[in-house]
Structure 1
Amino acid sequence: MNSHTENILQTEEEWVSKTRMKKQMNDLQQLGMQLTKLSADTLKKINLPEDLLQAVLSYQKISSNSALKRQAQYIGRLMREIDTAPISDFLSRLKGENSAHNAYLQRLEYLRERLIADDNSLTEVISQYPHIDINNLRTLIRNARKEQAAGKAPKAFRSIFQLLKNEITEDTQS
């Protein structure tokens, strides 16, 4: 190849279309909007630059729609100046932790349903988790069954869940 062709190929590799640039900027702004949904404590764990942190915190305080839009654009502009990979990683880890926690809570709800429906489930739970207060659990199960039969408020039903949640940690789930 001649040098003219090589120069053209090199400039084509460096050239980014205006549409692609706008999409990248919009993606950064959307990433910034995900930050605005987090609490201040969680934001501090991300180790954001101070100006971006302040921009996100002030976004959370604004109520005017036009001001929110301007602030979102400002956050997007600040996001262009930093490496966003650690932020993306943190948000995806956070999302994964939430889904794992939701799965844990769903397992506890399922266990509670089984305990109320079947006495054999109680022996399984006792064998898996011997540290659970058996007498309290039996009393709560009995009361929950009475509440269901009488159509009363599910006070014992909720108490069973709380007992299971306190006694069975996410780490001990199998």
Structure 2
Amino acid sequence: MEPLANNEKSRTQLKKEAKALQQIGVRLATLSDDQLGRMNLPDDLMEAIRDVRSMRSHGARRRQMQYIGTLMRQVAVAPIEQALMDIEQGAHQQARAFQRVESWRDRLVTGDDKLMNEILERFPDANRQRLGQLVRSARKEIGKEAPKRSARHLFRYLQELTSG
């Protein structure tokens, strides 16, 4: 067997690259049409991604993902990977913000009045009276069997404060 020239890749390396492109294709298939549309992907690649979503047969999905990997060889992968990372980081940040607001709501309902002052300082546009009323209503619901409507209203209000 002859040694490879400097510009030739080994068969193993080619397979690894093809597998990596397929994995990017799998990640692309999980995105919404809106997210995909912002990536400026070629039409044939977009169509292949839409097709794979509707496939239920494992074999058909596998073959379609191989086809997507083949199409991916013809496009610049670095911008796609960067866009995927941006989308995934955005989702992670949204989840963290959601958890922070949940934590605030739970702490306010359980009696952390110091947190209410911190929130009012952090968000000067917050309505002190409304926030206090929502917290009091949510505290009244603690022992009741009824749905926790006031706690949901408090959560929404806290989300409004953090988002805008």
Name the TM-score, length of structure 1 as normaliser.
Answer: 0.84
- CA deviation after TM superposition for structure 1 residue 128, in Å: 2.1
> Does the alignment pair 1:13 with 2:6?
yes
Give the counterpart letter for 2:138 in structure 1. A
Residue-by-residue CA offset, 1:37-60 (whole Å, 9 max, x unaligned): 011111110000111011101111
- CA deviation after TM superposition for structure 1 residue 111, in Å: 1.8
Q: Which runs of 4+ in 1 moved over 4 A?
A: none
User: Which of 144, 153, 157 pairs up with 2:151?
Assistant: 157
Q: Which region of structure 1 is more displaced relative to structure 2, 138-147 or 26-35?
A: 138-147
Residue-by-residue CA offset, 1:52-84 (whole Å, 9 max, x unaligned): 011101111222222212211110110112111
Aligned residues: 162
Q: Which has the higher helix share?
A: 1
1:16-95 paired onto structure 2 within 5 Å: 16-95=9-88
Partner in structure 1 of residue 126 of structure 2:
132
Residue-by-residue CA offset, 1:72-99 (whole Å, 9 max, x unaligned): 1110110112111110010011111111
* Secondary structure of the corresponding residue to residue 146 of structure 2: coil
Q: Which region of structure 1 is more displaced relative to structure 2, 44-53 or 92-101?
A: 92-101
2: CA distance, partners of 1:41 / 1:138: 39
CA RMSD of aligned residues (A): 1.9
Q: Which runs of 5+ in 2 are unaligned?
A: none
> Does the alignment pair 1:147 with 2:141?
yes
- CA deviation after TM superposition for structure 1 residue 151, in Å: 4.3
- CA deviation after TM superposition for structure 1 residue 20, in Å: 1.5
Q: How much identity, in percent, do the aligned residues show?
A: 33
Partner in structure 2 of residue 96 of structure 1:
89
- CA deviation after TM superposition for structure 1 residue 25, in Å: 0.3
Larger Rg: 1
2: CA distance, partners of 1:140 / 1:151: 18
Residue-by-residue CA offset, 1:99-157 (whole Å, 9 max, x unaligned): 12222222212222222222222222222222122222212211211111234322211
